[in-house]
Every structure is written in C-alpha cells, then in structure tokens.
Amino acid sequence: MAVPASYVASLLLLLSVCLQAAVVYTQQSDSSDFKLPCKAKRTEISFPEVTDVSGPVSLAEGASPSDFLNVTLQWRSQKLDVLLFRNLVTSPGTLTEWEEGNVTYAQVSDKQCFYVGYIVGQDASYVALSACDGLAGYIQTEDELVFVEPAARPSHDNKLAHTLYTCEAKMRVPQPDFYT
C-alpha cells in the first residue's frame, strides 16, 4: 500500500519541528530558568537504558551515538522498548535558534544525534528524539503523546534522569461561523 505524499510531507514537517524543539531544549538545558513548554498533565522520572549493537551507550556530552539505538524507558508502569534510526534529514548542519530574554541566538550544529523510530510492538507509534546530551523529543504511543527531556546531569554511575510528561489539552476558542 502506497503512503500518500501529503502524509509523508506532514510527518517530515512534524519531525522537523519536534527535533528543532529538542535542539532548543539541549541549548537551554544549562539555563536554570527553563520551564516545560506546557502545563504538564502527568509527569514521571525515568532512567533510560540506551544500547546499540556493541552494548550500553553513554549520552554524555561529546559522545557519538551509532546509527541505531535501542532505548528502554518506564512510562505508566510499563516498559517502552524504542528502536531508533539516525535521522539524516536534519543533521549535520542543523540551524538552531533560541531566545533568552530579549536576545535571540543562532547556532549551526554539526552533531549527528537526531533519531526517528517507533515503539516495538506498537504499530501506531512514532518517536523523534535528539540524543545530544541526553534524550529530548517526543514519543507518540498508541494512546498519547509523551515528551522526553533530561532532568539532571549524569550521576556518579553515569545514569541520566529524564522527565517524561504529557500536556493538558489547550482550550479551543470558538471560531465564528462566517457561512451561516
């Protein structure tokens, strides 16, 4: 069955926006005033296990993850096994812009740490994560959209806590009906 071009274009646009948001988070992670981009509906802390074909992988700054990653996260008392593939659409040479106060910064990233993938066993899942300095991005499960961000610097055993959260739906403002 062929996938419509409009569906592929929509997915690529969504992927690009989410990965750019992940890069922006990575740039802002040193800032003490960083806040979640929404009102969190549910929040959990997880310590992801990241492996590739050769074994455990460190997501510490400067690490060079491989072309394929397997990430295991806990969410809602369930284990999510995520299979990731390096995304060659956005890296290298990704332009990142972010604001701090009234100043806008821009930086070109040569990091090749952007991934797309899915949750093993969930056909309707989709994942877009940055593995630059921890995991940042989103996981679309069969039931909900879950955001992932590093919560702290690596501990002494090189484990990095991550915040997983869902957002409350925004209230829609009723739109006037100009056709009646």
Q: What is the pLDDT of residues 47-80, one digit of tens each?
A: 899 898 888 887 765 566 688 999 999 999 999 9
Tokens, residue 4: 């419509």
Q: What is the pLDDT of residues 36-47, one digit of tens each?
A: 667 778 889 998
Given this model, what pLDDT does residue 167 score? 85
* Residue 99 scores a pLDDT above 90: no
* Residue 35 scores a pLDDT above 90: no
pTM score, whole prediction: 0.66
* Residue 22 scores a pLDDT above 90: no
- pLDDT above 70 coverage of the chain, percent: 61
How far is residue 133 from each of residues 7, 82, 143, measured CA to CA in Å? 31, 18, 28
Q: Once rounded to an integer, what is the mean pLDDT over residues 9-35?
A: 44
Q: Which residues does residue 146 pair with via DSSP β-bridges, in sequence order?
A: 139
Which among 23, 16, 50 has a CA at the least distance from the CA of 132? 23
Given this model, what pLDDT does residue 170 score? 60
| Average pLDDT along the chain | 74
Distance from C-alpha of 144 to C-alpha of 109, rounded to nearest angstrom: 30
* Residue 132 scores a pLDDT above 90: no
* Residue 116 scores a pLDDT above 50: yes
Given this model, what pLDDT does residue 151 score? 84
Given this model, what pLDDT does residue 11 score? 45
Task: Identify the helix (H) or strand (E) that includes residue 96.
Answer: strand 94-100
